[in-house]
Chains A and B, each alone.
Chain A
Amino acid sequence: MVSATPTRDEVWGWLGEVADPELPALSIVDLGIVREVKIGPGVTVALSPTYSGCPATEVIERDVVEALARHGVAEVAIERRLSPPWTSEWISAEGREKLRHHGIAPPERTIACPRCGSGNAVRVSEFGSTACKASYRCGDCSEPFEYFKCI
């Protein structure tokens, strides 16, 4: 257990290891959900929910508290920050690469098949397995894939 007050960079590093429950390939930092880290007294982490009804919101808050506790931070406050509202533009370049690597087209205006790179994407449904994704199919290689919606 570490008893000294952590630095802001240390906390950001630890949060970078907290996976999103619905997109475990990405961390909550990759997704841009972590908006601010404040040190002293204790650690305050400001989080922005992606969608109003995102069922992962509470799980993420619990995971943050647990992750920091593992690094010896006992006093953690979570601030749920609504303004400005979360936008898919906050997903980092690294996060976009990880999405693509896991077969999910990142939230960009031109939708490319994450398997073959073709721009011939056919929308199957505006909705998908979670609120943040839509269902697509590649018109060239026929692979079905998910697209992280721009919001």
Chain B
Amino acid sequence: MNRDEALLAYVSRLGDNALVIGQRMIELVAGCPELEEELANANCALDYIGQARMFYTYAAELEGAGRDEDDFAFLRAEHEFRNLLLLELPNGHFGDSIARLVLYEAFYRLHLEALAECADERLAAIAARAVKEVRYHLRHNAEWLLRLGDGTDESHRRVQASIDGLWRFTGELFADDEVDRTVAAEFGGPDLAAIAVRWKAEVAALLEQATLTSPRDEGMVSGGKAGRHTEHLGYLLAEMQFLQRSYPGAEW
């Protein structure tokens, strides 16, 4: 894999992560527990869709094959998506959704901060833009984690189960592959091992503050980054891509 191929795969993967979590959050629109959370969720989802557009537009330019952001989002199949498994899991109940966002955004913030320092100017610029938004999301979602964890016995029990259930998908955040290693070596991209150390400390502190227990690293699963997905991604894509698949080239 040469540096150009690695950069394209890397940028496209960032787009996949942003699009898939953005789509999951869009599924929650009009289903949040209170009006303020409705505003928060929709605003944050929009940030992710905007980030996906920037990553995909750049990926399409790097590829130079005449595709655009919509081709990346709507006309690729499951195995071509390289998003993290954590992000494609169904929303579950509200505590599950919050737990997933805290675990991911604690990582994504560190990842974007490192990317903003990389040698590829365009990628660094997108990351610098996006990190300002993700810091805000994380602060908001961490407040919810605190309320749920340190709330009632019922909310504590349920959000602890959310964290426990999601934990095995967090190993993939730091499982580097040839794409990560090439971008790290050629463009000064993020060092996932270094991010893992900081993530573990920050997440442990957030959980402790919320009176929750950090699970043990057992039975970790991965595969999304290599195109091997859970059964859930297919359903997500089927709904999201329906219009372009049924009416190719439709515009509105």
**B45, B121, B133: most-surrounded residue (chain A CB, <10 A):** B133
Contact residues, B50-80 vs A (CB, 8 A): 50-51, 53-54
Is A83 part of the binding interface, using a Cβ–Cβ cutoff of 8 Å?
yes
Residue-wise interface mask of B (34-60) relative to A, using a CB-CB cutoff of 8 A (1 in contact, 0 not): 001001100101111111011000000
For the A-B complex, the count of residue pairs with Cβ-Cβ distances under 8 Å equals: 67
Could you list some 26 contacts between A and B, CB below 8 A? A49-B129, A51-B46, A52-B47, A52-B129, A52-B130, A52-B133, A53-B46, A53-B48, A82-B122, A82-B126, A82-B128, A83-B129, A85-B128, A85-B132, A124-B36, A125-B39, A125-B40, A126-B140, A127-B36, A127-B40, A127-B43, A127-B140, A128-B39, A135-B39, A151-B132, A151-B136
Q: Which residues of B contact A85 (CB under 8 A)?
A: 125, 128-129, 132
CB of B105 to closest CB in A, whole Å? 14
Q: Quick one: closest B residue to A124, CB to CB? A: B36
CB of A103 to closest CB in B, whole Å? 18
A104–B102 Cα distance when bound, in Å, is 30
Is B124 part of the binding interface, using a Cβ–Cβ cutoff of 8 Å?
yes
CB of B214 to closest CB in A, whole Å? 27
Are A82 and B136 in contact, CB atoms less than 8 angstroms apart? no
Tally B residues with Cβ within 8 Å of A. 26
A51-B47, A82-B126 given. 9 additional CB < 8 A pairs?
Answer: A52-B54, A52-B129, A52-B130, A53-B48, A53-B51, A82-B54, A82-B122, A127-B40, A127-B43
A51–B129 Cα distance when bound, in Å, is 8
Interface residues on A, range: 20 to 34
Residues of A at under 8 Å CB distance from B?
49, 51-55, 82-86, 124-131, 135, 149, 151
Q: Quick one: closest A residue to B54, CB to CB? A: A52
Q: Quick one: closest A residue to B122, CB to CB? A: A82
**B53, B129, B133: most-surrounded residue (chain A CB, <10 A):** B129
CB of B10 to closest CB in A, whole Å? 17
CB of A136 to closest CB in B, whole Å? 12
